[in-house]
Every structure is written in structure tokens, then in C-alpha cells.
């Protein structure tokens, strides 16, 4: 059954490669690199990455006050170090970037700058059907402690990356 889900996740990844200059081979290599970097990743984690590249932060809070409060609570509960990178581009077309909340917790980035970038990234994004929004697998959470927010690539590179 796991092979079926891996094949399905790979199909989703290839379908997500909407850039005609990107080949299925490049997308496949991106998937292989991801699974090598995160060997505990399950098919739902790969699906989540592809989903995030398509929908960005459109399924998250769009209220800045609520987002600030939620991030504050999450940072209190998260460890001071994680196996998750400070930032990582989503696969293949890399429309979005996952930014680790450790950047805020360690003072490299203000929570206000992060929330502003997330909210701007969500503007104009169609909200996905909630039935298709998944969390990371328990194995992924246990191994990597992912605590991040999704930011549109251009906003990340202009407003966030210079501070990291």
C-alpha cells in the first residue's frame, strides 16, 4: 500500500510541475532529493509539499492578530532546535518557501515581518477544499519538528531572505 501512495504522491508532484521549462525528470529529481533529505517523510508529507506549492498559505489564518497569537503559542511549545532547515523551497516549481519559526525564535526575523509576508502571500490565492488539507505524518513530526510558515517565493527573497 505504501508503494501505491508513493506512486500517487509522485504523480501529484509531476502534475504540479506546471512550468514547461521544467521536465518530469527535474521534478522527479526534486522528489528524490526531498526524500533523501527527509528519509522519514511519508507519502502524505510529499503530498503536503506539493499541495503547498500549489496553494501556498491560502488555508491558514488571514487575520494578522490571530496569526501573531497563534505563532506566539506555537513558538512557546516548539524546541529551541529542530532537524528542519531554516528555510526550504517547495518542490519543482518552488512557488513558495517554508520558513522555520526558529528564525523568529532566535531573533533573526520579527514575527510581524513574518506574518506580513504570510498574509501578502495568501492574497489572491484560492482557498483549497479543507478535505484535501493534510498535516504532516506523525513520523515526520517526530523526526523533524516542523514549525514553519509558507511564504510566496518573490516575497521571501525580497523581504525575508536578507534577514536570515
Q: pLDDT tens digit string along 55-75?
A: 888 756 566 777 788 888 888
Residue among 57, 51, 70, 67 at smallest CA distance from 124: 57
Give me the number of domains the chain comprises. Answer: 1
Please give the pLDDT value at position 41. 93
- More confident of the two residues 67 and 4: 67
Please give the pLDDT value at position 19. 54
Query: pLDDT tens for residues 17-28?
Result: 555 555 666 777
Spell 40-61 as b/e; 16+ CB within 10 A means b.
Answer: bbbbbbbbbbbbbbbbbbbbbb
Please give the pLDDT value at position 83. 86
Please give the pLDDT value at position 1. 41
Tell me the pLDDT band of 93, cut-offs 50, 70 and 90: low
Instruction: Give the Cα separation of 27 and 10 in Å (integer).
Output: 9
**Strand positions, DSSP E, 63-144:** 87-89, 96-100
Least reliable range by pLDDT among 43-47, 63-67, 76-80, 120-124 = 63-67
Whether 156 shows a pLDDT value over 90: the answer reads yes
Mean pLDDT value across residues 96-100 = 95
Could you list the residue range(s) of the whole structural domain that residue 82 is in? 2-163
Grid coordinates representing 156? Answer: 521571501
Residue among 117, 15, 103 at smallest CA distance from 56: 117
Amino acid at each position: 500500500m505504501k508503494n501505491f501512495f508513493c506512486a500517487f504522491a509522485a504523480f501529484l508532484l509531476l502534475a504540479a510541475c506546471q512550468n514547461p521549462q521544467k521536465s518530469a525528470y527535474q521534478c522527479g529529481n526534486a522528489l528524490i532529493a526531498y526524500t533523501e533529505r527527509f528519509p522519514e517523510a511519508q507519502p502524505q508529507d510529499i503530498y503536503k509539499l506539493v499541495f503547498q506549492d500549489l496553494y501556498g498559505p491560502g488555508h491558514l489564518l488571514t487575520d494578522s492578530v490571530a496569526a501573531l497569537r497563534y505563532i506566539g503559542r506555537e513558538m512557546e511549545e516548539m524546541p529551541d532546535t529542530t532537524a528542519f532547515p531554516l528555510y526550504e523551497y517547495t518542490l519543482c516549481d518552488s512557488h513558495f518557501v517554508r520558513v522555520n519559526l526558529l528564525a523568529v525564535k532566535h531573533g533573526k526575523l520579527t514575527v510581524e515581518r513574518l506574518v506580513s509576508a504570510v498574509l501578502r502571500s495568501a492574497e489572491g490565492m484560492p482557498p483549497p477544499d479543507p478535505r484535501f488539507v493534510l498535516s504532516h505524518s506523525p513520523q515526520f513530526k517526530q523526526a523533524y519538528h516542523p514549525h514553519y510558515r509558507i511564504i510566496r517565493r518573490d516575497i521571501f527573497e525580497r523581504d525575508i531572505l536578507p534577514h536570515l
